[in-house]
A and B are shown apart, each in its own frame.
Chain A
Amino acid sequence: MTIAPAQTAPEIVGRSPWRIAWRRLRRDRIALGGGVVVVLLVLVSAAAPLIVALLGHPPNEFHQDRIDSSLQIPTGRFGGMSGDFLFGLEPVNGRDLFSRIVYGSRVSLVIAFLATGLSVLIGTVLGVVSGYFGGWIDAVVSRLMDVFLAFPLLLFAIALAGVIPDRGFGLRGNGLRIAVLVFIIGFFSWPYIGRIVRGQTLSLREREFVDAARSLGAGHARIIVTELLPNLVAPVLVYATLLIPTNILFEAALSFLGVGIRAPTPSWGAMLSDATHFYQIAPHFMLFPGLAIFVTVLAFNLFGDGLRDALDPRLKG
């Protein structure tokens, strides 16, 4: 008779908060789906030249031989969609819509990510400082946030983007335009992050571990960096994820209004704007950039919501 091996009690594994969050996130299929789409989008925009070389044509190349000269729309069904032109062609000049959508993702994502990064940086720094020190510093920063939130951002952005010179700050052309757009969008959306961070800091600084650190003689800088910031990563991450789609929409709006990226660089918003003149006779031209914006924004929002639920279940609605 053999003795059954003694059952070993399952080892108790310490689970970090991140691990717990990851487990929660994994169970949230909708959020996971959003996350997968986000990753795919990032890959697509990074590999745009490769994808276009395999499946499309150069994004600015004209194919007017495939456009009906009196109707101005592509010959062939569904806007000229075929194996050669997956999403069909642009009316008038016959550029490959697929290639332009793929390249358009670069502009949208680059501007949205960089602008979000900028607002996270400014928002976190000012939010922590304001929440931690309180007093007149808090008063000043809070009023500053009110001012920025009350600012007619769209009008200001249109005016500023309309007068961007051709070169400056060592950049030129679209490089400079992207930099300026990132600055405008990032600089004016930091209060959204700033308010969250300030609120969190206000409650954190009264907690025992902060008192403990202080009684051990830690300075302000040390408390902020080692005690407060690690506890702020989760909310900042959540709101940054939710700020990205807002910024994508903002960039699209500016391009739609003609003050975004300079033609002929493809941008989803500018494509939508061009498409408005043809939507009745060439609906595919409006459909694809519209879908691209819709899917991207939805994916980021779903992922962001899931992330928030995972990191802070108390907020789960």
Chain B
Amino acid sequence: MRRKGLLAAGIALALVTSGCGAVDPADGTDSVANGGVGKVHNPSDTKGGTLRMANSGDWYSLDPGDTYYGYSWDFVRFYGRALVMFDTQPGEAGTKLVPDLAETLGVPSDGAKTWTYKLKAGVKFEDGTPVTSKDVKYAVERSLDKKTFPSGPTYFGDVLDTQGYTSPYQDSDPEKLGLKAIETPDERTVVFKLKVPFSAFDYLAMQPATIPVPRAKDTGTKYKEHPVSTGPYKFETNELGKRFTLVRNDNWSAANDPHRKALPDRIEVSLNVSADDIDARLLSGDLDIDVANTGVQAATQGKVLADPAQKKYTDSAALPRLWYTHLSTSVAPFDNIHCRKAVLLAADHDSYLRAYGGDAGGEIATSIMPPQVPGAPKNDPYSFKAKKNGDVEAAKKELAECGKPGGFETNMSYRTERPKEKALAEAMQQSLGKVGIKLTLKGYPQGDYFKLYAGKPDFVKQEGLGLLAGGWQADWVDGFGFLQQIVDSRVIRATGGNNNLGVALPKVDALLDQALLETDTAKRNDLWGQIDRTVMDEALILPGVWAKVLLYRPAHLKNIYVNEGLGGYYDFVQIGVK
């Protein structure tokens, strides 16, 4: 499940994001033990043992400058320290950023266009060389080279004032530090210069691209075979595509790293293990962690949830993901807010949830941002939860106000290859039918869903697609990451490929600009909440499900919990096996 690009500051920036924020449906549950959600399960400080992990696919890249999967951003903290990180705490505390390589969070100046970080003293690479600000600058520089490292996010290239700088490998500077947007006034200070104000820059400093890379050891595309560690573990062996092992890094010091427990002595990771095999080994205790975090397979889910003895080892982890339906104002009668409200009210929210896996798949969403995102309104303006099967009376009232008391006909698009989305479309057809809204379902291939169909404004209008099924997952748990790509009208391209399926409200755009300038975290989070409420008031989005994923943790694991900041992953660096 790849993290998808969002970002790019709202104003003048051309967005380089591709594809959709939506990800494959996953399964999880509420009616589970949840011993590792919101609290640490089996707290422990006992060191020793081997942590055994497996990945059903290949590791996309172990190079911190070229990696974009959520599990990789979690795992990379074993061998790399970025400037800041999500706090290694269960529950809401985990969504807060704390300094890691830096002494404090970023210090903004020049209206959030300049960000300064001071590195901690005494941090060393695995060979004992001290980490300097130049290693951080070099690391970010090389991550800008999308020819050599195509897989990483593009955020730094989008916001930094790069002035055309593309790669340290084509740098005339003898030290290969020619990028003017990052300054290193001394050994321990890094200054980032942006071309636009970006108040949430700490979320970029959290990304693996800021993990220092020593230029002398950089082997370009081969660096992933042995990234030089700054974290508690270093690579011992690495057989690409098969397995790799990590052992303790003697040059890491817990004294300057309060956020990693680093309990096991050794970490073994197997790659390309079949998903069914991973489940079987988790259940038998031969494996500790499924790295990819996509949750157990549907069959395993049925097995463990039906068996109380197994069920207590399951956790339902909240993902920063919303399954929703967009209402197209370009398709009559959805240009009328009352007809839009009628859909929100008539929809059967319980059916929506069931389509995406029932209690195991998440919870009924009442607004756009899931509750774990700081600033989420956590309110229920249309009483979705109280009237979970839909409010027929209220919907009919809105229909009458819209001038369509008997209902109307419209179309709904969904992705043919996704059984859960099809189930949702069928459920909508049923529930809207009760108030006379006749829905024709139209499936489109998911490969081009955003490029040619639901994400292409003139296609939506021409085909009369009043309702568009979709989903969105943020790269990290933050209002900007969650909202900007789906509600900022300025990212809508007439040529298609949009994640914003048609939310165009001047008030929302203004609030977004305001938030990007607001460096006070609490005030900024409040602005995200306002944006969410505004879109809900306009009834442009029918939120369906705040997704969850069902994780299984073998009985012997210690000190394990779900980190909400990382987006519903077990906090790898805290797990113990003794």
Contact = CB atoms under 8 A, between A and B. Distances in A.
Interface of A: 60-62, 64, 67-73, 92-93, 162, 166, 173, 258-259, 262-264, 273-274, 277-278, 280-281
A315 B231 CA distance: 79
15 contacts: A61-B430, A64-B354, A68-B358, A69-B353, A69-B354, A69-B359, A70-B31, A72-B354, A166-B440, A262-B441, A264-B429, A274-B422, A277-B419, A278-B298, A281-B299
A93 B354 contact: yes
Given A64-B354, A262-B442, A92 B423 contact: yes
A273 B426 CA distance: 15
Contacts of B359: 69-70
A273 B224 CA distance: 40
The 7 closest A-B CB pairs, nearest first, are A281-B302, A280-B299, A69-B358, A70-B359, A258-B416, A69-B359, A264-B426
Contacts of B425: 263
B506 interface: no
B430 A62 contact: yes
Contact of A93 (B302, B305, B423): B423
Contacts of B360: 70-72
Contacts of B31: 69-70
Contacts of B443: 258, 262-263
Contacts of A277: 298, 419
A184 B299 CA distance: 37
Contacts of B358: 67-72, 92
Nearest to B306: A71
Contact of A92 (B305, B354, B442, B445): B354
A290 B416 CA distance: 21
B441 A73 contact: no
Contacts of A71: 301-302, 305-306, 358, 360
Given A70-B358, A93-B423, A278-B298, A258 B417 contact: yes
Contacts of A68: 358
A274 B422 CA distance: 10
B296 to A, nearest CB: 12
Contacts of B429: 60, 264
Given A70-B31, A70-B359, A62 B427 contact: yes
Interface string B271-303: 000000000000000000000000000110111
A164 to B, nearest CB: 10
Given A64-B354, A93-B351, A162-B445, A274 B463 contact: no
Interface residues of B, number: 37
A263 B29 contact: no
Given A64-B351, A277-B298, A281-B299, A263 B417 contact: no
Q: Which of B301, B358, B440, B463 has the most CB of A within 10 A?
A: B358
Interface string B404-441: 00000001000011010011011101100000000011
A153 B241 CA distance: 38
B299 A263 contact: no
Interface string B329-362: 0000000000000000000001101110111100
A162 B445 CA distance: 8
Contacts of B298: 277-278, 280-281
Contacts of B430: 60-62
Nearest to B427: A93
B66 interface: no
B158 interface: no
Given A93-B427, A173-B440, A281-B299, A72 B350 contact: no
A278 to B, nearest CB: 7
B426 A64 contact: no
Nearest to B316: A70
Given A68-B358, A259-B416, 5 more contacts: A72-B358, A93-B426, A166-B442, A262-B440, A280-B298
Given A64-B350, A166-B440, A278-B298, A72 B357 contact: yes
B30 interface: yes
A264 B441 contact: yes
Contacts of B442: 166, 262
A312 to B, nearest CB: 44
B440 A62 contact: no
A314 B451 CA distance: 59
Contacts of A61: 430
B463 to A, nearest CB: 7
A73 B417 contact: no
Given A69-B359, A70-B31, A263 B441 contact: yes
Nearest to B425: A263
Interface string B28-63: 011110000000000000000000000000000000
Nearest to A67: B354
Contact of B426 (A69, A70, A162, A263): A263
